[in-house]
Amino acid sequence: MTSLWRADGAVVAGTPFEIGQQHDVIVVGAGITGLATALMLARKGRDVAVLEAGEVGNLATGANTGKLSLLQGKVLSTMRRHHPAALVRAYVDANREGAEWLTAFADAAGVSYTRRTAYSYAQSGDGTDCVAAELAAAHEAGLDVRRVLPDGDGPFPVVDAVALEDQVAIDPQAVALALAREFVAAGGTLHTGTRVMHVHVLPRAVVETTAGFATAGQVVLATGAPIMERGFYFAKTRGLRSYCVGFDVDGEVPDGLYLSVDGPTRSIRSVTAGDGPGDRARLVVGGNGHPVGRVESERAQVADLIDWTRRHFPGAQPRMSWSAQDYESHDLMPFVGAMPRGLGRVRFATGFGKWGLSNGPAAALRLTAEITRVPRRDRPEWMTTIAHRMTVPADLGRGGVENLRVGWEAAAGWVGAQRTPVPVAKPEEGQGIVANRGGHPVAISTVDGVSRAVSAVCTHLGGVLTWNDQECTWDCPLHASRFAPDGRRIEGPATRDLTRLDRSGPSVTR
């Protein structure tokens, strides 16, 4: 589904890829993180190329809520339960510097935004302890937050909240497009429609794409999930998918930026001409996030958001719905820096936990400092603090639970696929089924009147895929790779398409 921010179809034209190009730096991924890194480096005189499989802002950047806030639901209190105060403060400082960089860029580039009050709020009495903990953690981390006890006259349930003034509502796709234009104007090279398949590090960094290869002194993977196995970051993060719906609403809409601390998650913001295409929708409601591929029906998550909004905003009419994917590290802190065993030639950033509008530019600042060899003494303290953080038992516990779940999903997927031998009845429009053909799981779907059969085995680590009935995709419940009905890879740690099976024998019956 196309997001509110990308509905006009605006793009920044790239140039044709030429085999054998050489650059100082190649950045893989044209979202906020990749484009901010590329622009910073280009402004410092580096020869930089950005390679993007789709278009600018194609995935998470162009599909988030457009909330740029240092108050992030219950993130700070969750971190503080397991990490020292200095690390939580470093996280806040990083986000602050990232947010300041992005808003300064928006000012210079003429991208408008509005200043709002952000609220982390409890929907019921069960969430009040979490609000109190977030207030304490935010204060300790240096944020000028305040407790808010609502009067009960609002359109949706708020029983307690912590507030932070002067946060930002912005159109994330407008920022991404402006970054891309500024990057090209600074002498950078942009290649869209060019998927990177692999990165080699000897004798120098070589980037292998679907169009050929290019070389560079440094490579930055700004791909959400790193597309290299070194460091096993696919096992140190989990992919999360969440949903948004844009509504037309009669009457007043909330001015603040709201995010619940208790479930089911509700994210609310209004849209105006100053911070987005307010002529397309006046209210964005998001939430109902879950690990990728591990929910019975994605469509039901969107329907639930629509039902909730209609109850609390009578007359609200949904205009469009979309979803986004992000990655959360088990220690809740982003991973940024040199890729292990990359010989210092490959860097990456991942694990923003849905807060990429501030974490992305912060990561870009750190990556740029490392690539341009800024002395450590001249770098902000937060960079050093985050870079030298220690893994604590709680991090290992969360990672252990997640990887046990991955193992269970792997086994359950293979067992489940064996129960449905082909041939099977042709799936209804918009539906998909996993069946067994000769011991191999087969993914069969019908989309836009066309039935297709592809391998149901993820090309990353062999997980059996599940059908996403909202976006008509095949999603991996192990490490969050996603594929189109025809097997084309969309996102995640996988780099190869699924094998197409349509011509290898009958899979469906009429």
pTM: 0.94
Determine contact, residues 258/121, Cβ cutoff 8 Å. yes
Within 8 A by CB and 6+ apart from 142, the residues are: 89, 92, 93
pLDDT over 60 (residue 230): yes
The residue with tokens 């449905």 is: 420
- 495-505 average pLDDT score: 80
Residue 395 has a pLDDT of: 57
The first and second tokens of residue 16, run together, are 């044709």
In whole angstroms, what is the distance from residue 83 CA to residue 280 CA?
Answer: 42
Q: What are phi and psi of 389, to 5 degrees?
A: -65, 155
The SS3 assignment for 190 reads: strand
Residues in a beta bridge with 457? 464
Determine contact, residues 347/337, Cβ cutoff 8 Å. yes
Determine contact, residues 101/175, Cβ cutoff 8 Å. no
pLDDT over 50 (residue 504): no
In whole angstroms, what is the distance from residue 342 CA to residue 507 CA?
Answer: 43
In whole angstroms, what is the distance from residue 78 CA to residue 487 CA?
Answer: 38
Indicate the helix (H) or strand (E) that contains 508: strand 508-509
The residue with tokens 């979803």 is: 323
| Cis upstream peptide for 361 (omega within 30°) | no
pLDDT over 90, % of the chain: 84
Q: How far is residue 266 CA from its own chain's centroid?
A: 17
Residue 235 has a pLDDT of: 86
**Mean pLDDT, all residues of the chain:** 93
In whole angstroms, what is the distance from residue 238 CA to residue 90 CA?
Answer: 23
Residue 389 has a pLDDT of: 80
pLDDT tens per residue across span 8-42:
999 999 999 999 999 999 999 999 999 999 999 99
- Residue at 342: amino acid letter: G
pLDDT, greater one: 397 or 234: 234
Lowest mean pLDDT among 275-289, 310-324, 408-422, 440-454: 408-422
In whole angstroms, what is the distance from residue 468 CA to residue 480 CA?
Answer: 12
**Cα–Cα distances in Å, from 175 out to 30, 61, 66, 179?**
12, 9, 10, 6
Burial of 336 (0-12, 13-18, 19+ CB in 10 A): buried
The SS3 assignment for 404 reads: helix
pLDDT over 80 (residue 509): no
Confidence of residue 407 (pLDDT cuts 50, 70, 90): confident
Indicate the helix (H) or strand (E) that contains 24: strand 21-28
Q: State the pairing for strand pair 283-291/317-329.
A: unpaired
- Other C-beta atoms closer than 10 Å to the C-beta of 272 total 15
Q: Which CATH entry fits the domain spanning 416-509: 3.90.650.10, 1.20.140.10, 3.10.20.600, 2.102.10.10?
A: 2.102.10.10
Burial of 27 (0-12, 13-18, 19+ CB in 10 A): buried
pLDDT over 90 (residue 397): no
**DSSP state, 392?**
-
Strand arrangement of the beta sheet that strand 466-468 belongs to: 466-468, 473-475, 482-483, 489-491
pLDDT, greater one: 82 or 117: 117
Residue 398 has a pLDDT of: 61
For the chain, the 3-state helix, strand and coil shares in percent, each to the nearest 5, are 30, 30, 40
pLDDT tens per residue across span 47-66:
999 999 999 999 999 999 99
In whole angstroms, what is the distance from residue 482 CA to residue 497 CA?
Answer: 10
Within 8 A by CB and 6+ apart from 296, the residues are: none
Residue 506 has a pLDDT of: 46
What is the CA angle 175-177-182, rounded to 5? 95
- Residue at 309: amino acid letter: T
**Of the segments 123-137, 381-395, 410-424, 492-506, which one has the largest average pLDDT value?**
123-137
The first and second tokens of residue 44, run together, are 């410092």
The residue with tokens 């108050």 is: 71
Q: CB-hemisphere CA count at 13 Å for 167?
A: 26
Residue 393 has a pLDDT of: 56
DSSP string, 444-473: EEEETTEEEEEE-B-TTT-PBPEEETTTTE
Lowest mean pLDDT among 271-280, 383-392, 482-491: 383-392
Q: How far is residue 501 CA from its own chain's centroid?
A: 31
Residue 394 has a pLDDT of: 56
pLDDT over 70, % of the chain: 96
The first and second tokens of residue 439, run together, are 């011991």
- H-type helices in 27-186, by residue range? 32-43, 75-80, 85-109, 128-140, 172-185
The SS3 assignment for 162 reads: strand
Length of the chain: 510
pLDDT tens per residue across span 310-347:
999 999 999 999 999 999 998 889 999 999 989 999 99
